Structure 1
Amino acid sequence: MARGELSKALLEANGNRRLRRHLAQQLEELHIAPPVAASSRQALEAPIYVLHLLTNSLPYTNSGYTQRSHKVLRALKAHGVPAQAVTRLAYPLVVGKWPRSERELIDGVAYHRLLPNFYPGTRRKRHEKSVDKLVAMVREQHFSVIHTTTNFPNAIVASRVAQRCGVPWVYEVRGELERTWLSRLPIELQEDAEHSEFYRLARQQETAYASAADAVVTLSEISRAQLIERGVDADKIHVIPNAMDEELLTTIYDRRQLREDLGLPVHRKIVGSVTSVVDYEGLDVLIRSLQYLPEDVMVLIVGDGVAKPALEQSAVDIGVEDRVIFAGRKPATEITQWYGVLDAFIVPRHDTPVCRTVTPLKALQAQALGIPVIASDLPALREVTGGVESYVPAGDVRALAAAIESVKETEAGKQWVATRTWSAAAEEYEKLYHSLR
């Protein structure tokens, strides 16, 4: 099962009914084909009214995904494009959190919660219930476009709602399910797993639903090119990259004061990242680079995740534990000050398929604040940072240490990121929605 051979695992799970049920449902979901497009569609009139179907959202989940969703929705509203959001069935209950109500206003953006009286026991029935509830919402509130994001279970629901309501739907490819799954496996298993049943079927589903959508959004030219190679119509793929808030460009902060306020050393060089603490982020490389750096250099990691215990042990093993600060996860309202204490922002991602394609939001925030970025020399990282920062070979500890030691502040990053604002993104979304007429 861990290597993605689901049918084989199903045959071998004879005595485990719960595991068999889970595997059977997963296999079924991987074979649910997109519906045939509606033969008749209502005319798309102004103003266009958009419903975003999301996996999760603020305030219950704080991640790059939820931050992009919220920034986009806020920018659309400011741009005069009516848009609301709805999260997947039973969220946030399914992550152990109780919603305040079935409709919440966050910074003026409406988020709807699909809270069923009972939670269906199978994936297919959950999709069916989601579709029924969303069809009622679309018809009642007269939404004219459905916009959803990866992964494909969202597309299963969105495509069926669009078909029944006779409206167009947009599929936003923010990540790659199969490659993200692959990146979480031990390195020695990844080559075989890339040819596994799960990898093949998940990739097939993502391609099928991107092909079925009326329009596709990607976050990078790299992702767009890969979708075209997989057979998705190039004419309907729109690149709307990650962006940042314009006010960050004029944010003034006192690094020394921030460090004093947060209890951090004032006179030492502090480099680090604000990130999910997972293996593919390459934070192990950052920690090991301390062996080749002066004693006054420290690493700050803001965030949490499954890789944290191993990283803490690694710091102990190489004798740098007193030079690494694990600050943990911080509220979104405090993130800017944690960026502000850094002398350099590091994105040391490993050279994996997902890291070569997915463009992270976090580096843009550092650039907007004028903090120099040092990143692994991967296509996605060069694209998202405009090619104006410092880049080192992925996994090269000594090269990263040398870049950290020689890093200097410049205006290049801030000048680049000034062209990547959420306001500009909203304009592109509006053009996309109007193209669906």
Structure 2
Amino acid sequence: MRVLHIITGLKAGGAEQQLRQLLRHLPPEAECDVVTLTSPGLVADGLRADGVRVRHLGMSGNRDLRALPRLVRLIRAGGYDLVHTHLYRACLYGRIAARLAGVRAVVASEHSLNDAEMEGRRRTAGVRALYLLGERLGRVTVAVSPTVAEDLRAWGVPRSRIRVIPVGFDPALFRFDEVRRKTARNFYGLPEDAYVVGGVGRLIPGKRFEVLVRTLPHLPAGARLLLAGDGPEKEALWRTARELGVADRVVMTGERPYVPDPGDDAPGMPDLMSAMDVLAAPSAMETYGMAVVEALAAGLPVLYTAAPAVSDLPADAVPTAWHVPCSAEQYGRELLRLYAAHPGERTVPDVVQRNSIQNIARQTMDLYAAVLSDAPLEVRPR
């Protein structure tokens, strides 16, 4: 089975990291290549290190229609049995190109639909019309959570064409390790006894990491903020930290992969999770919240504003995660509460295994087999 994955970009975002993890755990009979329309970054390097062929289409913008015939030729030349697209732009161009190339087995994964935006675009009538036009050219859309599935249905995607498969990762990779904690803290100059508040994600306005910066003056002097990610808000966050007099208590690591490539001495994301004492996720709009689940796998307490990965579960399934309104005052109050309670033994909720990448890979292969056989999919969201 030859499968082509098409994705908008390959910087170190959640959907991009998810694709790499999935390809590492699909069985050998799924021979996968990857095309990125734009931005081949850390995840592209990681995929190549894993032995995956990655090609950059060189798309210059959303309306670069020259990319479409290039993509059609690439799909035809590769002799692919199935095309799997990820993220809005890749889903639109990829579905059209697959059909023009004669591939009818097309699966799309929807990672970025929420109440106000889709992959950073406002949910206008034009965006909706283009999305639904492309959706009809595929066979099924994978929603990463029941919340996303219901958003898709409300937007006009038939329920019968939606399958819910959660985001997956390797829980063992994030298991707390004292040695990795010390190594990561030493690398970034974090005192061994510091109370480290972690934030993970792209440094963009929607992630609201300025909320965490503004909590620092109200936390004990030994508290530190560790932000893992990169993006256009980096300088604004530094400016806010300097204005508040807490710049020496903030560490920004830049993009970090799950597993650093050979020669990369900086800690990977699992090491950073071990270095933290709490994960805070103040973003008010998330389609899943993978960093929250990874933090739970590391045994961390979690404060979140939006995370369907947790909020879609029964209330007692994740006793170490608390919903917090998106304000510096509210986050400061909850962080002080956790600080006063003193970190206890790290416990991992059983529900974390639901996101095992091995489990997600099996569900994905079952879906591929159904799509290729043209069998009824029975894809009711669950």
Q: Structure 1 length as normaliser, TM-score?
A: 0.71
Query: Where do 1:55-74 residues align within 5 Å?
Result: 55-57=8-10, 61-74=11-24
Question: What does the per-residue CA deviation read over 1:71-126, in whole Å, with 9 as the maximum and x for residues that have no partner?
Answer: 1111113xx4413123145874xx8x9x99xxx8432433345589xx99x72232
> Among 316, 329, 333, which residue is 1:398 paired with?
329
Are 2:254 and 1:328 equivalent residues in the alignment? yes
RMSD between aligned alpha carbons?
3.3
Q: State the Cα distance separating 1:213 from its structure 2 match.
A: 1.5
| 8 Å CA contact retained: 1:372, 1:413 | no
Distance 1:67 1:248 in 2: 13
Match of 1:40? Answer: none
Match of 2:376? Answer: none
Distance 1:210 1:202 in 2: 12
CA distance change for structure 1 residues 81 and 253 in 2, over 3 Å: closer, same or farther? farther
Match of 1:304? Answer: 230
Q: Which amino acid aligns with 2:294?
A: Q
Distance 1:55 1:377 in 2: 24
Q: State the Cα distance separating 1:416 from its structure 2 match.
A: 2.1
> Among 146, 153, 161, which residue is 2:98 paired with?
161
Q: Which amino acid aligns with 1:220?
A: S
Match of 2:275? Answer: 341
Are 2:84 and 1:131 equivalent residues in the alignment? no
Match of 1:11? Answer: none
Query: Where do 1:14-413 residues align within 5 Å?
Result: 48-57=1-10, 61-77=11-27, 80-88=28-36, 92=40, 105-113=48-56, 123-138=64-79, 143-176=80-113, 179-180=116-117, 199-248=124-173, 250=175, 252-254=177-179, 255-330=181-256, 332=258, 333=260, 334-335=267-268, 336-349=270-283, 351=284, 355=285, 357-377=286-306, 379=308, 382-383=311-312, 387-407=318-338, 408-409=343-344, 413=348
Distance 1:284 1:224 in 2: 30
Question: What does the per-residue CA deviation read over 1:197-229, in whole Å, with 9 as the maximum and x for residues that have no partner?
Answer: xx2211221123223311111111101011112
Residue 212 of structure 1 aligns to a residue whose secondary structure is coil
Percentage identity across aligned positions? 21
Q: Which amino acid aligns with 2:22?
A: V
Q: State the Cα distance separating 1:342 from its structure 2 match.
A: 0.6
Match of 1:44? Answer: none
Residue 294 of structure 1 aligns to a residue whose secondary structure is coil
Larger helix percent: 1
CA distance change for structure 1 residues 183 and 84 in 2, over 3 Å: closer, same or farther? closer
Q: State the Cα distance separating 1:330 from its structure 2 match.
A: 3.8
Q: State the Cα distance separating 1:281 from its structure 2 match.
A: 0.9
* Residue ranges of structure 2 left out of the alignment (5+ in a row): 261-266, 374-382
| 8 Å CA contact retained: 1:178, 1:203 | no
CA distance change for structure 1 residues 260 and 69 in 2, over 3 Å: closer, same or farther? same
CA distance change for structure 1 residues 314 and 166 in 2, over 3 Å: closer, same or farther? closer
Q: State the Cα distance separating 1:412 from its structure 2 match.
A: 5.4
Q: State the Cα distance separating 1:294 from its structure 2 match.
A: 2.0
Distance 1:212 1:179 in 2: 24
